[in-house]
Amino acid sequence: MYRKGKAKTYWVRFWCNGADHKFSLKTRYKSEARKKATEIAAQVEAGNFQKTALEPEQALAMSDGVQQYIRYLQSEGRAPKTWGRYLGELKSFTEFTATRGATRMDAITMLHLDDYRDHRRQSCKPRTVHHESVVIKQFFRWCRRRNLIAINPVADYELQKPRPAKMPKPTNEQVRQVLRAAVEPRMTQYAVLAFTGMRVSEMQHLLLSDVDLEGNWVSIVSRAGARTKTQMDWRVPIHPILRELLLALPKGKRKWLFTAARSSKFPNGDHWLNVKTINDEFKALLKTLSIPAGRDQDGFTIHSLRGFFKSHCVNHGVPREVVDSWQGHTMRATASDMYYCLPDDVSQDWMAKVPFSLE
């Protein structure tokens, strides 16, 4: 290991597999150079040193690495919303490093991640910056394990998880204000979210057959092309008030429980709902009611109805395990949670006791 050039960066030179290897470690810091050299030495000793992953003229472009990673996530069955978000975040990082002259994966350093995080802090909240940083670290770890790169440039990059911000939840009175002011079909759609606790994307994908009024259940089903966030299925009892609203829905042969309005693209009006449109209209309605709207204003979004459901149920005596089951939460904090079972009749009884109201 030695220094070279005006920048005094560290280089290494060694003999492996019948060839002489010489290249820059891309750092001026001795401690970091030693770490990289030690990792290379371990690879040489283990016999898994990859020349193609190190030579600058053959190094993988960042954009190519990102595409390979996304294809891997897709093959593993990750939800489109998940890999779509990762793709956007990694593309943003790739475009940023390109402006710094680093387009190859072997050209990335911790300093690039430092600069990128500082750049993102100017327009994003701490949790967003942290999530993007975690995705970037995951990406490079995946690339290293598949020998797409010789050294993981951010392996030792330390992240401090920000404290979770307290998300505001609408009160029962605020939800009633919204439901009284909303007009159909939005009123029933808002009621479904507020009285079942499902995500708006899960409501978007509800089929007419998912609503069993005879058995008094709404089923949330993960299907091809319409996966739930957890890729799990579950069902929620129908509250008596919500039942009356669902009974009043127009009858007819349609695939989706709720459909978007007719448009030039979908003149038959048989396409599923647009989540962004629902959220925008919900926030607009909140503003007319002088209720805080939008996360930028520490206000509510359509997702806030999910938080209202959980808070309202728990605050009125419904066991948290029951509410978690209704909302499809699959995480188990303790071993005892694994043994909990919610019988159908108990689930129905608890839902009937929740004091939801439209007035």
Task: Write out pLDDT tens, residues 95-131.
Answer: 999 999 999 988 899 999 999 999 999 998 899 999 9
Q: Which residues contact 223 (CB under 8 A, 6 or more apart)?
A: 205
Q: Exposure string (b/e) for 300-314, b if CB count within 10 Å is 16 or more?
A: bbbbbbbbbbbebbe
Q: What is the pTM of this model?
A: 0.69
Which residues, in sequence order, are bridge partners of residue 311?
Answer: none
Instruction: Kindly state the DSSP code that residue 12 receives in the 8-state scheme.
Output: E
pLDDT tier for residue 35 given thresholds of 50, 70 and 90: confident
How far apart (Å, rounded) are the C-alpha atoms in residues 160 and 309? 31
Q: Could you give the CA distance from residue 172 to residue 164 in angstroms, rounded to a whole number?
A: 24
* Four-residue CA torsion sign, 10, 15, 16, 17: positive
User: Which phi and psi angles does 237 have, rounded to 5°?
Assistant: -65, 150
Name the burial class of residue 105, with classes exposed (0-12), middle (13-18) and buried (19+) by CB atoms within 10 angstroms of its CB. Answer: buried
**Structural tokens at position 189:** 């759609």
**pLDDT on residue 16:** 74
In the chain, beta strands by DSSP E: 2-4, 9-16, 19-24, 211-212, 217-220, 234-237
Instruction: Name the token pair of 316.
Output: 């009125």
Residue 53, pLDDT score? 44
pLDDT above 70 as % of the chain? 93
* CB-CB neighbours of 196 under 10 Å: 25
What is the average pLDDT score of the chain?
88
Query: What is the CB-side half-sphere exposure of residue 309 using CA atoms within 13 A?
Result: 26
Backbone phi, psi, residue 17, to 5°:
55, 40
Give the start-to-end residue ranges of the domains of the chain: 1-49, 58-165, 172-353
Please tell me the CATH code under which domain 172-353 is placed.
1.10.443.10
Pick from 120, 144, 143: which is nearest to 132 by CA?
Answer: 120
pLDDT > 50? residue 57: no
Beta-carbon count within 10 A of 221 CB: 17
Q: What is the pLDDT of residue 181?
A: 95
What is 58-165's CATH number?
A: 1.10.150.130
Q: For 145-185, write each residue's pLDDT tens digit.
A: 888 888 899 988 999 988 877 788 999 999 999 999 999 99
Q: Which residues pair with 19 in a beta bridge?
A: 16
Q: pLDDT tens, 24-34?
A: 888 888 888 88
Per-residue pLDDT, 13: 81
What percent of the chain has a predicted confidence (pLDDT) above 90? 54
CA–CA dist 70, 64 (Å, integer): 10
Is there a shared CATH topology between the 58-165 domain and the 172-353 domain? Answer: no
Q: How far apart are the first and last CA of the chain?
A: 76
Cβ count near 54 (within 10 Å): 18
Q: To 5 degrees, how large is the angle CA 300–CA 91–CA 54?
A: 145
Is the pLDDT at 203 greater than 80? The verdict is yes
User: Phi and psi dihedrals of 211, rounded to 5?
Assistant: -100, 110
